[in-house]
Structure formats: structure tokens, C-alpha cells
Amino acid sequence: MGVIQNTQIVLAERPVTDIDLKKTFKIQKVSLSDELGPNEILVKVIYISLDPAMRGWLRDVRSYIRPVRIDEVMRSADITQVIKSNNPDYKVGDIVRATCGWQEYDVLKPSDDIVKVKTFPGVSPSTYLGVLGITGLTAYFGLFEIGEIAKKGGPDCTVVVSGAAGATGSVAAQIAKHVFGCRVIGIAGSEDKCDYLTKELGLDVALNYKSKTFFKDLCAATPKLIDIFFDNTGGDILDACLRRIAFKGRIIVCGAISTYNDAVPKGPAYYSALITQRARMEGFIVFDYAKQYGKAVEDMSKWIKEGKLKSRETIISGIENTPEALVKLFNGDNTGKMLVKVAEEETKSKL
Amino acid sequence: MGVIQNTQIVLAERPVTDIDLKKTFKIQKVSLSDELGPNEILVKVIYISLDPAMRGWLRDVRSYIRPVRIDEVMRSADITQVIKSNNPDYKVGDIVRATCGWQEYDVLKPSDDIVKVKTFPGVSPSTYLGVLGITGLTAYFGLFEIGEIAKKGGPDCTVVVSGAAGATGSVAAQIAKHVFGCRVIGIAGSEDKCDYLTKELGLDVALNYKSKTFFKDLCAATPKLIDIFFDNTGGDILDACLRRIAFKGRIIVCGAISTYNDAVPKGPAYYSALITQRARMEGFIVFDYAKQYGKAVEDMSKWIKEGKLKSRETIISGIENTPEALVKLFNGDNTGKMLVKVAEEETKSKL
């Protein structure tokens, strides 16, 4: 029986507005026994997923999931590798997605939320935190279930995506463009991201919301108004899109990252456009569609192989940098999926 | 051929915020020839309907209907009486609902939006501007089509109605309570109105939104949260109800009277509850359901006869007081339908 030194990052104090790198989280080293109970596995964390939803988990309010407790390891989805196993279903070296949180090692029981990752050539295991993970599934189910894109689609359907260079937005925009052939306008916060959206992802138009002419540009880019708005950001961008919403338009309320650090956010002033345009704003949580994940991953794996779905990652190294990576996510410093690399994946021969 | 002196109220200047009784409207007297073209009818206005939506018609923005033009007679639905007819379908003395606007007389063509009113004992023709008019129809289609109340209903379904003592709100609340048997909480702005809601209309709970303990009271009144929120007011009440919205809750965005006088209204700060609770906010315009009006009026006439649907009117006399009546509507001075009585209905024998 051995003892492993395990670095963990726990919630120290709930932030009221912005995350405070000196106060919100606390790093600690604990000892973890590698002695396993029946069917348990010991995993080493390779990648930690950073997601806007995490800001919500820090709040002590009624939500879709319980808040992270003070002194508890911060929750996250991770890509991990099995390094010791008492479970015949998991072999040493297997890559497993699990909710271990911000730490280097964890012991998992079969009842935990564990998914064995089937890797295929050209696809990094980190893809299972991005396009083929919760972020990509969020884009997929948001568009299909809330946007009902399959009933619309085609070049006469104008789709606008905010946070379009982000992990979820980039998948939503590409599905709308390359699978359904819609006119797709991506909104992002820098000229580099806008170039990425049009030149690499092939969207029709990309708009920088920091531009002084943003609303004018949005009007010019949506001559037939907006049929589907996939919103990741909220705030002024949501208001601008409400002002351009089409008759019976759909607003997929996926996230509101621009407001998550506000104690009381500014709501969408122009929401009464919902009345005049008979439009709908609807929220969703991807977990509700868990039974359909298999079909979604199958579809998206196919689209990746066909070149319809590209992805980019912004990777920061070192578990101690995880809180800063989360802050960078809210500052919009990332293009594509934001990850922290905690350790190298080991080849099976080495293990 | 005769000439009639016709008093009209026209839009003089678009208000930016509150309606200004000295500037927004202008009263004028014009001469109207009573010579009728083929199939035309001359009507005398009996009642003018005052509706929150009117504030929107004063704005020069993209909406579901064109704005009222400067120097144009202010638009309204009216109950009128035929005083001269060149059309065999309409006899002198007939009661007709039409969109004549704020004036004493009008000449109508068959192509105008005219509905002959079938009166029945105990029901005043003014009911066709209220429960059996656009306001009642708005309550009906909002609940059925947007709230999908027929799929829910019953005592386990909690329905909250804002502006519940108003023309539309009181109908929505009574249908939810007495037709579908829901637990119904009405929100209004005075103790008198709250008494009316519980004692006369039979709602389960009435809450005064001006009370300091309003949010606490709302929490206490909605132990199982809010399944359907029929919103006529917007503003802080909408925010409070978003904070209490149930899983898969529906918000029927019918109106936002608390915000109509704001140049840029405050949006609902807590709209991200739509995400965590997988909830939906959806707007509608009653005109889209015109083909189903017949069935709705039939249902509601039946409910009136059965005592399930009661109504009250706040009637102000004199066409010159119409602008002030509109201001009173925004101040919440009315209970039930707000009307201006312009002239007495004449009995057929006198005509």
C-alpha cells in the first residue's frame, strides 16, 4: 500500500462579483491512499475542463446542480487515465472522463459518473471535453431541441451565435452552417477570433462586439432578421439580437457569460420584442438529454471526419494555474475549448 | 345630405417616456359629411377601449402593427352604433365593434375590421371590448397556446398572474382557477384590488406588489414554485417570478405595462433562471389566432353564464377625457377593463 501526494484546489470563499485569485480558491496538498475498495479505480487527471457554468456553481442559489461547498474540491469534468484498477471493466492505461474536479488524482467508484473514452486516430482525448464532450453536446442539443433547427435550416434561415469562437459557440455555428446550410453570423470579441470564424470555420459573417459600429454591422449582416439566436453571452449582445429577432424567432439561452460575475446582472431591456415578434427565449441543461448522447456523439464524430466540424483548444499547463485559467475564460482570452493540462498521458507500454 | 360635427383626438407628439397630457395628444373638431358611398355605414362611438398596447403604437419602431402617425386619429377598438346605413347587412341601431379610434363618429367600409355584436341578456355591449373582446381573447390564447394550460392544469399546477385585477389578467386568472382548477396567485397594486381578487374572483392568494414583503409573500404563496406565469407587467414582478419559476416553467409574455413609459426599460435581471430551470418565456399577439376567435367567444360566453368568469369595468365619461384615462391605466387606477363612454346607446325605438 502506497500513499500519493495529491494537489487539490478547493473553494475558499464565494465571490460576490469577479473571481479573486487571492481569495476565491485555495490550493492544498493531501495524502491519498492507493489502496482500493471493491471495483474502485485510481485515476490520474490529464486535462481539466474550464466552463462558464462553473461560475454558477460558486453561488449558493437554487440551480440545476448543488453549489460547490466551501472547502470542497472545485467541481470539473476531467480527462483522466487509470493508473490502478480493482475493476475488470477498467484497465490500467484506459482513458476515462469523470467529474474528479480540480485535483491530480482521484479514486472512483462504479457509481460515479464515469465514461470510458473511445479514442480514434486524429482525435485527442481532450476532444471528449470539447466537441465530443459536454460543450459540443450542449451546442448539439441546444440547436436541435430548443432551436428546432431541423424544422428550419437552409440558406433562408439566419442563425446568429454569440461567443462563436468559444467551445460551445464554435460547434453550434459550424453545425448550423455546414450541416444545415444556414446563413450564419458569429459574434466574438477580437479581430483574430473573427478571422478564425470566417477563414477557418467558414461562417458567412463574423462581427466583433467590441466595435463601435457593432449594432449597425449586425443590422447589415441580418437583412432578413434573426431566425435562431444561440446565446452564450447575454448582456448587450442579447439586447442587440432581440432588436433584430424575426417573426417567431427562437433564442436558445445557453449561457450568459458576460453577466456571471455580476451580483445582479442587467437584464435584456428589449425582451418585449418577444411579444411584438411572437418570439421565444428558452433555456436548457444538456444533462436532460443524456439518453441521446450516443446518437449525438456518433453524428458529431462523423462531421469531424467529414471536415464539417473543426475545433481548437486553448491549453494552460499546471494544476496551480487552474483558477487563473477560469478567470481568463471570463476575460475571453480563449479561442475554442479552455483546458488545463495537469499531466502527460502515459503510453500503455510505459505503464 | 348633412354635416356632423366630429370631435377627434389625434397624436401630436411622440412621448419619449411618460405620456404628457399637454403635449402628446391634441383635440380637434372636424366636419364629417353623412353622405355614404356604396355599402358604407355611419357609426356613432359609444365606448372607447383603453389598452396598455397603445403605448407601443406611439413609438416609431418595428412592431406587429404600424405606429400611429403624427396628426392621425389615435387608434382604438370601439363599440359603436350604426346611425345611417347603405349596407343591407347593417341596420340602423345595430351594435358594431370597429377600430374607429378616438373620435365620436366614423364612416366604415365593408373592408374595414367590423364585427357585429350579438348581445345577450345581462351582458353589456361593452363586454365585447373586455372579456369577450381583444383583452379576454388575449387571456384565453395566452393561457391555451403559450402556457399550454390544457396539458397541465389541476391543483398541482401553480399559476401566477400579474396585473391580475386588470382586464386581461382577471380573465386569465379566472380561467386558470375556475376552468382548470389550478392554484392561482394574483398580483395587483392595492389592497382593494387584492380583496377583489380573492373575495370576488375566488383566487387562492392575492399579493400586493407594493408591499415591502412582496418577494417573501410570493415565496410563501408558491411552495411548489411557479409552473405558469402570465405576465402583464414586466419589471420587478417578472424578476421575482423568474426567481420562483419551476422546472420547465412557462412565462407567457403578454405585456410589460410597468416598462412601457421607459425610454430603455430595465430588463429581467434573473432571466438566466430560464437556463437552470429549463424554462421558457414566449410572447404572442392575439391577432394571430383570429381564426379561432369564434370558439373562444363561445367558451367564454358559456363560462360567463356559469359564473366562472366575472368582469368589472372602470368607465370614464367624455371623449375629451380619453388621454387622461390612458394615463390612469398606466398608473394602475383601474380595476378590470378601462373604458371611456363617449355617448349613450340609443334604443331602437328612439332611432
Task: Domain ranges for chain B, please list them.
Answer: 3-130+311-341, 134-288
A·B CB contacts under 8 A: 113
Q: Which of A64, A265, A274 sits opposite B276 (nearest CB)?
A: A64
Q: Do B281 and A271 touch (CB under 8 A)?
A: yes
The pLDDT, as a whole number, for residue A331 is 92
The pLDDT, as a whole number, for residue A113 is 87
Among all chains, which residue has been given the C-alpha cell 357609426? B43
Task: Give yes or no for a contact between A25 and A58, defined as CB atoms under 8 angstroms apart.
Answer: no
Task: Spell out which residues of chain A touch residue B258, defining contact as CB-CB under 8 Å.
Answer: none
The more confident residue out of B245 and B153 is B245
d(CA A139, CA A146): 10
Residues 6+ apart with CB under 8 A from B277: A64, A283, B245, B246, B247, B248, B249
CA nearest A281 in B: which residue? B281
Residue A257 Cα distances to A209, A221, A254, B162, angstroms: 14, 23, 10, 30
Residues B88-97, mean pLDDT to the nearest whole number: 95
The pLDDT, as a whole number, for residue A94 is 94
Phi/psi at B200 (nearest 5 deg)?
A: -90, -40
d(CA A310, CA A312): 7
Q: Does B113 have pLDDT greater than 90?
A: no
d(CA A188, CA A185): 10
Q: What is the pLDDT of residues A285-302, one digit of tens each?
A: 999 999 999 999 999 999
Residues A148-156, mean pLDDT to the nearest whole number: 94
Q: Which residues of B34-69 are buried (b: 16+ CB within 10 A; e: fewer)?
A: eebeeebbbbbbbbbbbbbbbbbbbeeeebbeebbe
Task: Spell out which residues of chain B touch residue A63, defining contact as CB-CB under 8 Å.
Answer: 276
Task: Give yes or no for a contact between A323 and A22, defined as CB atoms under 8 angstroms apart.
Answer: no
Among all chains, which residue has been given the C-alpha cell 363617449? B342
The percentage of residues in chain B with a pLDDT greater than 90, rounded to a whole number, is: 88
The pLDDT, as a whole number, for residue A265 is 86
d(CA A305, CA A286): 24
Residue B205 Cα distances to B166, B183, B242, B308, angstroms: 16, 9, 18, 17
The pLDDT, as a whole number, for residue B266 is 87
d(CA A167, CA A165): 7
Q: What is the CATH number of domain B3-130+311-341?
A: 3.90.180.10
Element (DSSP H or E) covering residue A7: strand A3-11
Phi-psi region of A109 (alpha: psi -120 to 50; beta: other; left: phi over 0): beta
Q: Does A54 have pLDDT greater than 90?
A: yes
Task: Give yes or no for a contact between A254 and A233, defined as CB atoms under 8 angstroms apart.
Answer: no
Closest approach of A338 to chain B, Cα-based (Å)? 22
Q: What is the pLDDT of residues B219-230, one digit of tens each?
A: 999 999 999 999
Q: Does B335 have pLDDT greater than 80?
A: yes
Interface predicted TM-score (ipTM) of this complex, two decimals: 0.90
Residues B155-178, mean pLDDT to the nearest whole number: 97
Closest approach of B164 to chain A, Cα-based (Å)? 19
Task: Spell out which residues of chain A touch residue B271, defining contact as CB-CB under 8 Å.
Answer: 234, 253, 256, 267-268, 271, 281
Q: Does B351 have pLDDT greater than 60?
A: no
Q: Does A165 have pLDDT greater than 90?
A: yes
Among all chains, which residue has been given the C-alpha cell 476575460? A331
Q: Does B23 have pLDDT greater than 60?
A: yes
Residue A27 Cα distances to A45, A339, B19, angstroms: 16, 18, 59
Q: Do B271 and A268 touch (CB under 8 A)?
A: yes
Band the pLDDT of B1: cuts 50, 70, 90: low
The pLDDT, as a whole number, for residue B350 is 56
Residues B1-6, mean pLDDT to the nearest whole number: 90
Q: Do A285 and B273 touch (CB under 8 A)?
A: no
Q: What is the pLDDT of residues B259-318, one digit of tens each?
A: 888 888 889 999 999 999 999 999 999 999 999 999 999 999 999 999 999 999 999 999
Q: Name the interface residues of A facing B (CB cutoff 8 Å).
A: 56, 62-64, 234, 239, 253-256, 259, 264-285, 288
Q: What is the mean pLDDT of chain B?
A: 94
Q: What is the pLDDT of residues A174-231, one digit of tens each?
A: 999 999 999 999 999 999 999 999 999 999 999 999 999 999 999 999 999 999 999 9
The pLDDT, as a whole number, for residue A327 is 96
Q: Does A306 have pLDDT greater than 90?
A: yes
Element (DSSP H or E) covering residue A325: helix A322-331
Phi/psi at A255 (nearest 5 deg)?
A: -160, 175
- The domain covering A134-288+298-303 belongs, at the CATH homologous superfamily level, to NAD(P)-binding Rossmann-like Domain (3.40.50.720)
Give the torsion sign (CA, A180, A184, A188, A192). Answer: positive
- The domain covering B134-288 belongs, at the CATH homologous superfamily level, to NAD(P)-binding Rossmann-like Domain (3.40.50.720)
The pLDDT, as a whole number, for residue B348 is 61
Q: Which residues of A112-146 are buried (b: 16+ CB within 10 A; e: fewer)?
A: eebeebeeeeebebbbbbbbbbbbbbbbbbbbbbb
Q: Does B119 have pLDDT greater than 80?
A: no
